[in-house]
Structure 1
């Protein structure tokens, strides 16, 4: 199995959870989706995140989905599982279950109940106790959690968390924070961890790479965009990275609309053959005819621009 550790780089794609048209968990489509992602060069998969509709799954479904993903991946890339929970009993139970199934590690975000730096740090002390030897990713996503973590408190957490191997950076705007975290590790103030970015399907990916990110951990119906942008940037071809990114930007932006973003992503993944149904479980959005027309236009324009960049 590829290691999930502080050297992680590339693209850890946040996956959707496929359902049938009737809303049942679709394990056959799960296999198709995994193959689709791996064929496009991702270096890891992250499941049971916010865009994976984790809160809409039963405990049995979450484990069944994890099992299917891990079995289909067959150790080719790390599989990271979101286990965030205000309660440590639930977090510990899910962590033990997914690690027994073969997951590479887990991801944890702070609950909305913590506010001060001391409260945040104390919460992650308890995360360390709960997870024990399991490698984990610190998710900084204040738009979803309502918790603002300053660079100072994040560095405090990292110093106290020897098994935290990655930061998922999703603050927005957050380029200065990302740069501060990387500068601290470069100076030896804290051990180096992998920093993958998750802002809005990669809406700031080229700039984040220039500030010290090691890659992306987010979702987009064209994962090859992030794979190719990261690869170009890593080989020093920054202008090529920006040109590729610009070609996908209008569709990536459209996919990030509050309210309908997940429906857009599933519609596109369905159109690309990655999943059999675009179904989103309730409560969830539905696309209008105008939405679908917008998407079709953006895809045509994206295809045209990409052909010009070959």
Structure 2
């Protein structure tokens, strides 16, 4: 089940479930995996930014990975970004031995020039091994690293184990178009492109050539439907469904409480037992919870999955 460039559909970014005391909620890991599978996910991505990976120690990260991989019937991508290559190598090799499909690597915020970015990925793959399929995480809004289409092309063409781009630039529609143009002209080999940013631009990203979504929006089943409808050429239906969810997608985009919002709704949907995060973390006020409930009631008029 190794990842390759043909990957399509929805690979939700999964949260890490915690108990109110901050311990990992192992029971909710199983219910969460089952929830994503039933929602139409074609794969799952864990230990990303949404997964609060920096708040986990090495043993916890590996234990969570093994449990998710053992529970899921779909490919699992594991985020292995780390300050040093030794930790990245150890986690990457351990999760691949456990049955992961591939790993995701984000660039450190210190990178500034094109050559620095390309060199970093060369060094990372030398460390983990060229036999491990990997995903480039392009998220300049959080990571502050600007990757141009030309830089992404250099990485992909230099490193055969690069099979996917997690595209989270904003605005980023033109970047997708540029990369697909490189492929048409023959200067870029085939590459899976899954998009993030909470799904905020998924409707048009699909039309620009994305293969699907890799994001943590609390209705992954909606993301799966939009991807399917777009692939079927049902443009108006895809946009109508997307537009119904847009107010909640927008609410999730708030810095500081986005993950709290997602976990709150995922708890209400039965995916996890608690909406707890590890400190430091943003928290929802009672007013914020009431606003989310209001958005869910309005959404339920158009999508019955929002009725709890």
SS in 2 for 1:274: coil
SS in 1 for 2:12: strand
Note if 1:284 corresponds to 2:273: no
Give the structure 2 partner of residue 29 of structure 1. 28
1:166 to 160, 164, 184: 164
Shift of 1:255: 1.2
Superposed CA deviations along residues 89-132 of structure 1, whole A, max 9, x for unmatched, are: 11111101111111110001111111101111111111221222
1:59-98 to structure 2, matched below 5 A, reads 59-73=58-72, 76-98=73-95
Report if the CA contact (8 A) 1:4-1:78 is conserved.
yes
Give the structure 1 partner of residue 214 of structure 2. 217
SS in 2 for 1:50: coil
1:80-229 to structure 2, matched below 5 A, reads 80-132=77-129, 133-199=131-197, 201-229=198-226
Corresponding pairs, count: 303
2:227 to 207, 225, 230: 230
SS in 1 for 2:11: strand
Q: What CA distance in whole angstroms lies between the structure 2 residues aligned with 1:258 and 1:236?
A: 34
Q: What CA distance in whole angstroms lies between the structure 2 residues aligned with 1:71 and 1:104?
A: 12
Shift of 1:72: 0.6
Give the structure 1 partner of residue 49 of structure 2. 50
Q: TM-score, normalised by structure 2?
A: 0.97
SS in 2 for 1:168: strand
Shift of 1:182: 1.2
Superposed CA deviations along residues 157-193 of structure 1, whole A, max 9, x for unmatched, are: 1110100000000000011111101111122111110
Superposed CA deviations along residues 137-175 of structure 1, whole A, max 9, x for unmatched, are: 011001111100111111111110100000000000011
Give the structure 2 partner of residue 41 of structure 1. 40
Q: What CA distance in whole angstroms lies between the structure 2 residues aligned with 1:238 and 1:86?
A: 42
Give the structure 1 partner of residue 242 of structure 2. 245
Q: TM-score, normalised by structure 1?
A: 0.96
Shift of 1:86: 3.1
Superposed CA deviations along residues 207-234 of structure 1, whole A, max 9, x for unmatched, are: 1011110000101111111000000000
